Amino acid sequence: MRIEAITRGAVTIALVCIFFTVFKGVTNIFNALLIPLILYGNLMNLKREERYAILGALLCVCAILFKIQIIFTIFYCIIALLLLFIDREKWSFPRGAALLSLGLSLSFWIAIEATDALFLTCMGDIMRYALNGNQFAYAGLLVFEGAFVGIGLLFAMKILQKRLGKIVK
């Protein structure tokens, strides 16, 4: 691995650890926006092997330090790879927004249910209880969150490309 990739990996892991420490509970939604964006910014312009080494190291660190967040971290890594794919393939904004919104909505639901099952948390039950047990409202909330984060990621990705594209080539 090149020194640049090792440095980017260290910065990525440090930032993710900081975000998981700072944004907990209700503010955890910020992690869904910030972590894939940090991953995207630090993985762009790296070789495939370097990307996967960084993601693997991140998953190992999160499995040790932030066990309950591991499933979300897996999905954040997938979303970052989707951002790289959308960028490489030059997808239009509406097409990218649709893919990210759907992907994020599904990943939120899967991650919540899997975390509840594996770690005996009750995030899904709490959210459904807050919505008076209305499954449609719960699904609508997940779709709204997915669309909000997906569109936000696309806007932030374009800004990051312009800023970092001048620095890193």
What is the per-residue pLDDT for 167? 54
First to last CA, the chain: 17
Of 154 and 165, which is predicted with more confidence?
A: 154
For the stretch 91-133, pLDDT in tens is 999 999 999 999 999 999 999 999 999 999 998 898 899 999 8
pTM recorded for the entire structure = 0.89
Using the predicted structure, report yes or no on whether residue 4 has a pLDDT greater than 80: yes
What is the per-residue pLDDT for 165? 66
Using the predicted structure, report yes or no on whether residue 144 has a pLDDT greater than 70: yes
Residues 93 and 154: beta-carbon distance below 8 Å: yes
